[in-house]
Amino acid sequence: MPDTVPQPELHSIPRFAVVGRVNKGKSSILATLVEEADNEHIRISSIPGETTRCYSIPLKLAGETLIEFIDTPGFSRARQTLQWLKDHHPSDGSEARIDTVRRFVREFRDEPDFMDECLLLEPVLDGAGIVYVVDSSKPFRPDFGAEMEILRWTGRPRMAVLNNISETTDFGEEWRERLGETFNLTREFNAHQARFKERIRLLRHLLEIDDRGREQIERTIWLLEADWVDRRGRAADIIMDLLSSCLRKKTCRTVSSGDLDRDYQRKRIEQDLKERYKKDIQQLELDHHKRMGRLYRHEKLQVTEALDDSALVIGEDLFAEETWKVLGLNRNQLAMASAIAGGGAGLAIDAATGGLTGGAATVLGAGVGYLAAHFKGRALAEIKISNPLSPTGHIPAGGVQLCAGPPSNLNFPWILLDRILFHYHHLIVRAHGRRDDFVIDFSHLGEGEKRLGYAVKFSSERRRVLQTWLAAQAKGKSVDEDSKVFGELEETLNEIEEQELLLPGE
């Protein structure tokens, strides 16, 4: 990437018409390419003929249109159209083929039978480049040849895109041979699978076929890549916010002496507080999903644990036993991480006492941290209840505040982090052209004691940096290590994107 932001070109915005047979994923490809998940803007349907006129689909960043795509209705009568062109093209070469196509459009513009062909050809005749979409999970048939031939008659720069819709069969090779006769370039792009890198790759291919828009397309790629890095940074920020809020969160209630007279009353109040605390944390997690959804242009994805339309389904909720068994650090890692963090606290005592303790505080800090974590490693999501009562059990006239949270198990933030990273992974691989339910299912993560999230795979240095910061958050302290934690999280997100940090089955 160049260091400086390329400046806008003076000449016009490159235009590309996305054309092809009905129901081959033209609209889906565009939605994925420009990150448009909303069916109101780009209509996608399994019923053929969903797109009935041409729609301008701008690729925009910060309000600026960088490249304009045009979604078109599919070819419906290509063979008859080609026949007309052949019949009416003067054999003496006195008319360019594109002019015969122009005559066709003029003549049939208002004829219902050829409406689709006229509509899709208009932007091409106006100068747009062509992206021709085929479904390579189905075999080539000769009637596709007519569509390809009509596009060739326009003489516009053109590339073919293989969108393998069913993903069960692949006739890509056969298609490539046929398409190679008519198109400058044939490339794969799956409307449901493509990620950021594939989107950029497709834009680079446009450069190969259409030199006219070169500088603007290069500039677009540069801006999109910079924006993607920027988003990753903002995602790391949002994740730090959530971790910090969850670790500091306490759900409190003022109780008076009458409320605590009997043991069962106290238990009920504590139970109620714990339930409210869990709900509060779950709400923070849901708000987090929404923020991340907005960042990655998936704001319409419903975040709910219910199985309804377009739901984000979480197999197990944050406080479920299964979640606590499979996510987070294993006992040794947790013990080591907190020993180091405890050791860090000890070091601080050493420094404060001018080293007079001769390193004893370090050893003590590390030991306490290690043991506490080791024993709590077994426990599940047991939520702490603060006990503000005096040793005599005296309750002042104004009452006392009972507070629930956080869980005593030191694995809490690590389990939370694993869920956040898991959600991040699903969000960034979610193609915007998909209109099916957004399902995040933790249940396949495994059984038993084996921990299968991301955190167990972190380097011990990463665990150390995070644990030190997490421990400080839990104590409500601010730490100087913010930028280190931010760096580690940003790098973690990058590794997930690059598939260097994988989940089982990936």
Ligand X SMILES: Nc1nc2c(ncn2[C@@H]2O[C@H](COP(=O)(O)OP(=O)(O)OP(=O)(O)O)[C@@H](O)[C@H]2O)c(=O)[nH]1
Task: Check whether the bond before 157 is cis (ω within 30° of 0).
Answer: no
Considering the rule CB under 6 A, would residue 25 count as an interface residue with ligand X?
yes
List the alpha helices (DSSP H) in 210-249: 214-248
Q: Which stretch binds Mg ion (CB under 5 A): 50-58, 173-181, 215-223, 229-237?
A: 50-58
155 binds, among Mg ion, ligand X, none (CB under 5 to 8 A by kind): none
Q: Which stretch binds ligand X (CB under 6 A): 26-34, 138-146, 481-489, 498-506?
A: 26-34
Q: Which residue in 15, 27, 116, 314 binds Mg ion (CB under 5 A)?
A: 27
Q: Which stretch binds ligand X (CB under 6 A): 186-194, 226-234, 331-339, 462-470?
A: 186-194
How many residues touch Mg ion (CB under 5 A)? 4
Cα–Cα separations (whole angstroms), residue 373 to 323, 342, 396, 474, 479: 18, 10, 35, 14, 21
Q: Which stretch binds ligand X (CB under 6 A): 190-198, 284-292, 395-403, 492-500?
A: 190-198
Tokens of 387: 């006990």
What DSSP character marks residue 183?
-
289 binds, among Mg ion, ligand X, none (CB under 5 to 8 A by kind): none
46 binds, among Mg ion, ligand X, none (CB under 5 to 8 A by kind): ligand X
Phi and psi angles of residue 61, each rounded to the nearest 5 degrees, phi first: -140, 130
Phi and psi angles of residue 65, each rounded to the nearest 5 degrees, phi first: -80, 125
Compose the 351-390 pattern: x for residues touching ligand X by CB under 6 A, - for all others: ----------------------------------------
Considering the rule CB under 6 A, would residue 191 count as an interface residue with ligand X?
yes
Strand-by-strand arrangement of the 158-162 sheet: 55-61, 64-71, 15-20, 129-134, 158-162, 185-188
Q: How many C-beta atoms surround the C-beta of residue 205 within 10 A? A: 19
Cβ atoms of 79 and 118 within 8 Å: the answer is no
Closest approach, Cβ 295 to ligand X, in A, equals 24
Task: Print burial letters for 390-416: b (CB count within 10 Å at least 16), e (below 16).
Answer: eeeeebeeebbebbbbbbebbbbbbbb
- Please work out, in degrees rounded to the nearest 5, the angle formed at the alpha carbon of residue 304 by the alpha carbons of 299 and 306: 140
Cβ atoms of 442 and 308 within 8 Å: the answer is no
Q: Which residue in 17, 31, 51, 341 binds Mg ion (CB under 5 A)?
A: 51
Considering the rule CB under 6 A, would residue 190 count as an interface residue with ligand X?
yes
Considering the rule CB under 5 A, would residue 28 count as an interface residue with Mg ion?
no
Considering the rule CB under 6 A, would residue 136 count as an interface residue with ligand X?
no
Compose the 28-57 pattern: x for residues touching ligand X by CB under 6 A, - for all others: x---------------xxx-xxxx------
Compose the 424-443 pattern: x for residues touching ligand X by CB under 6 A, - for all others: -----------x--------
Tokens of 239: 């994740």
Of the pair 48, 359, the CB lying nearest ligand X is at 48
Q: Site residues for ligand X, window 65-104 (CB under 6 A)?
A: 73-74
Of the pair 76, 304, the CB lying nearest ligand X is at 76
β pairing state of 251-255 and 400-407: antiparallel
Closest approach, Cβ 56 to ligand X, in A, equals 15
Closest approach, Cβ 249 to ligand X, in A, equals 40
User: Rounded to a whole number, what is the distance in angstroms from the first to the last CA of the chain?
Assistant: 30
Cα–Cα separations (whole angstroms), residue 86 to 79, 100, 295: 11, 9, 51
Of the pair 44, 501, the CB lying nearest ligand X is at 44
Closest approach, Cβ 307 to ligand X, in A, equals 20
Considering the rule CB under 6 A, would residue 169 count as an interface residue with ligand X?
no
Cβ atoms of 7 and 23 within 8 Å: the answer is no
Cα–Cα separations (whole angstroms), residue 332 to 300, 324, 383, 456: 41, 15, 22, 10
105: Cβ contacts below 8 Å, ≥ 6 apart: 117, 118, 121, 122, 125
- Interface residues toward ligand X, by CB under 6 A: 22-28, 44-46, 48-51, 73-74, 163, 165, 190-192, 435
- Interface residues toward Mg ion, by CB under 5 A: 26-27, 50-51
